[in-house]
Copies of this chain bind each other. A is one copy, B any other.
Amino acid sequence: MVEELFRKLMSGDRRAAARLISLVENDEPGAVEAIRMLHRHTGRAHVVGITGPPGAGKSTLVTALTRELRSRDLTVGIVAVDPTSPFTGGALLGDRVRMQELATDKGVFIRSMGSRGSLGGVARATNDVVNVLDAFGKDMVLVETVGAGQVEVDIVRLAHTSVVVTMPGAGDEIQAIKAGILEIGDIFVVNKADREESARTALELSLMLELSPRGPEEWCPPIIKTVAVSGEGVGELAEAVLRHQDYLREHGLRERKEKERLTAEMLEIINQKVSVAVRRLIREGGPLQDLMHKVLETREIDPHTGADLIMQRLLENGELR
């Protein structure tokens, strides 16, 4: 069944794409098989992370940016992630409706997702969904996510190009950006730039950026003013994204990012297998029963020593299969 879905995906079947995304997003049976098959066909799309505080107009901007990219004959996948609701399966993304106008364009594929289990889970599920759209042949994959601390950072790290969106007068939001996102933004957008304080917001941003020293060869993040609802400045944003894509290729940085992304992915797979094996060992009792008793009850063994002893047992018995 996965094989058939995969074959259909390769022939451009949108329903197969939707089905495969659900499969990997929810980690359903067959998900690993699907990811294995997809891998050979991934690594081509340019992944753009778009983040910023609620109300900055990210969805409208993503819609307008997609229009610009389409006018340059690029196909676009959109993944809208809301990591703030850890337990709900469905995403609460009301303004996703704004993207409706794109729904009839065969060159665009849109997907909203909530979050999955643990935090690592959100970033990993997003990665898997991006891979489906990559294999589906989309030239650009835009990942939109709400500003939400660490989750946001983890998701943005998946991207080749990170776009940070803010809006005029969002003083606190800029403080928040300063606290975390300034370091990872490749392009900054002041959206709703028809508002009064937009010049000041852009100035504040550029002052902050000047504080982080950059070498002469290094990418200098542009600050772009946009009015997403009218499309103003969005062409410039599209150009900046394409320029950054070129920059990464020319400096061998795309390869480095891909290496880091795949290393992180493999590490997470390994860690999950180790966790499953350890939890099974502990549940089954046996020799670890005594260990747990000494960690938990008598407190003779501390967690670090306990971890070493568990690892030793895993290694000796080859339990990590």
B271 and A36 contacting across the interface, CB-CB below 8 Å:
no
Q: Mark A241-275, 1 if CB is under 8 A from B, else 0.
A: 00000000000000100110011011101110111
Closest to A88 in B: B179
Q: Which residues of B contact A279 (CB under 8 A)?
A: 263, 267
Would you list which residues of chain A between 114 and 136 have a CB under 8 Å from chain B?
A: 115, 118-120, 122
CA separation between A43 and B263, bound complex, in Å? 37
A282 within 8 A of B: yes
Complexed CA–CA distance, A40 and B306 (Å): 13
Q: Which of A78-86, A96-104, A194-202, A223-231 contacts B (4 or more CB under 8 A)?
A: A78-86
Most chain B beta-carbon contacts within 10 A, residue among A115, A303, A318: A303
Q: Are B274 and A270 in contact (CB under 8 A)?
A: yes
Question: How many copies of the polypeptide does the oligomer hold?
Answer: 2
| Contact residues in B for A35 (Cβ distance below 8 Å) | 302-304
A289 to chain B, nearest CB (A): 11
One of A6-14, A65-73, A158-166, A307-315 contacting the partner: A307-315
User: How far, in angstroms, from A4 to B300 measured CA to CA in the complex?
Assistant: 20
B40 touches A300 (CB 8 A): yes
Which of B86, B265, B292 has a CB less than 8 Å from the CB of A303? B265
Segment with Cβ contacts to B, from A105-113, A148-156, A203-211, A213-221: A148-156
A83–B149 Cα gap in the complex (Å)?
7
Candidate in A176, A255, A266, A315 with the most chain B CB atoms within 10 angstroms: A266
Asked whether A93 is an interface residue with its Cβ less than 8 Å from the other chain, the reply is: no
Structural contact, B304 and A262, CB atoms closer than 8 A? no
Q: How far does the alpha carbon of A245 sit from the alpha carbon of B150 in the complex, in Å? A: 32
A299 interfacial by beta-carbon distance below 8 Å = yes
Q: Closest approach, in angstroms, between the C-beta of A91 and any C-beta of chain B?
A: 11
Contact of B149 with A84 in the complex, beta carbons under 8 Å: yes
The yes or no answer to A15 lying at the interface (CB within 8 A) is no
A39 part of interface (Cβ distance < 8 Å): yes
In the complex the two chains form, what is the Cα distance from A92 to B179 in whole Å?
Answer: 10
> Does A320 sit at the interface, judged by CB under 8 A?
yes
Smallest CB-CB A-B distances: 6 pairs: A39-B302, A269-B307, A85-B179, A119-B150, A271-B271, A36-B302
